[in-house]
Amino acid sequence: MKKPLSLLFIVIIISSFLTSCGQSLSRYSVTYTDVFDTVTNITAYAKSQTEFDKAATAAHNELLRLHKLYDIYNEYDGIINLATLNRLCGASEQKVDKDIEYLLKTGLSYAEKTDGKLNIAAGALTGLWHDCIKNGGGLPSDEELYEAKKHISYKSVRLENGALFFEDPDIKLDVGAIAKGYAADRAASVLVSNGINDFLINAGGNVVPHGKKPDGEWKIGIQDPDKPGGQYRFKMAVSDRSVVTSGSYERFFTYGGKTYSHIIDTDTLYPADRYVSVTVLCVDSADGDALSTALFCMSVQDGKALLKEKGADALWIYADGGYEKTDGFKIDE
């Protein structure tokens, strides 16, 4: 049976006013529920409601644009999105939007670095599990899983000079592991370009802080996986570094008394169960998205090697409540 889950699993502790260069700034906030199948909140300090509304609307419009562009389930008039490309690229080469090109290049790079632990070409496999989560039905059969495994090679995705082609016509792209992070980064850039410099975006666990709040750095709470609904296990201070959490409690379904998460291990073909949550601290939310998903399917030792290469830090929480972290991930218990 499918269970509802709160996607706002990072608690943001904020204050109300900020004074900068003699200008009093007030705190404003808005929440959207129509992008990337999650709840997105923008909290910012601005000179007026008008200034905030203009910037937030521009950021929301950018999120909506990218939401449609990266949608693998629905096509839209006037754009060639990933759903369209999944339908066409097995038969013919297609020109792609620059934002799709960037995201696919990032995803393919991570696929190489992680030996497919993060695999944007695994849509044939993840689609089977997506249907289970959506419909709350039974599990995919072994035959279905093994057949899907034949068609998840990221090396079959050819992206050259802005054109995309699948050497295996049954390849399906799924960028769910990285799209939201990139979109959150883009929304942050839009806020800055509209004169908002002190803000925090929380896109369903992709937290992008910029600037500061009244008492200095932003205070972030990381949810306790055993206590959904806003209770947090750790807190930390961040400034201009993104915090991204992937959790087995984010989207899941229960069958036969066992819970299955939405993060699929392409080696086992089943949902990953090494950890209940992985939180990554890094500069870009897109990298945080990719890393938190990949680390969910890797040993801590291998994960630490990847984090060192990318200049990032992480916190792993186990089902028994234990945890591990890199030295650079500073927390208060």
- Name the one residue in this structure whose structure tokens are 């562009």: 69
Give the H or E element holding residue 235.
Answer: strand 232-238
Pairwise CA distance, residues 229 & 9, whole Å: 7
Residue 222 in domain: yes
Residue 139 in domain: no
Residue 225 in domain: yes
* Per-residue confidence (pLDDT) for residue 259, from 0 to 100: 75
Domain total for the chain?
1
* Per-residue confidence (pLDDT) for residue 41, from 0 to 100: 97
Residue 39 in domain: yes
Lowest mean per-residue pLDDT among 19-28, 107-116, 235-244: 19-28
Residue 118 in domain: no
The CA-CA-CA angle for residues 141, 117, 126, to 5°, reads 35
Residue 198 pairs with which residues in a beta bridge? 45
* Per-residue confidence (pLDDT) for residue 258, from 0 to 100: 76
Short-list 7, 58, 10, 302, CA closest to 196? 58
- Name the one residue in this structure whose structure tokens are 């998460």: 261
Write out the residue range of the structural domain in which residue 209 sits. 10-68+178-251+276-325
Contact 16, 237 (CB under 8 A): no
Residue 227 in domain: yes
Two structure tokens written together for 310: 């990318």
- Name the one residue in this structure whose structure tokens are 């990933």: 82
Question: Edge-to-edge, what's the strand order for the sheet holding 157-160?
Answer: 94-95, 163-166, 157-160
Pairwise CA distance, residues 181 & 106, whole Å: 12
Two structure tokens written together for 205: 């666990």
Pairing of strands 23-35, 198-203: unpaired
Short-list 231, 226, 222, CA closest to 329? 222
Residue 25 in domain: yes
Domain of residue 25, CATH code: 3.10.520.10
Dump pLDDT digits (tens) for 190-220. 999 999 999 999 998 899 999 988 778 898 8
Residue 311 in domain: yes
Pairwise CA distance, residues 262 & 23, whole Å: 46
Dump pLDDT digits (tens) for 132-146. 877 766 889 999 999
Confidence band, pLDDT 50/70/90 cuts, at residue 333: low
Distance of CA 203 to the CA centre of its chain: 8
Pairing of strands 242-247, 277-282: antiparallel
Give the H or E element holding residue 281.
Answer: strand 277-282
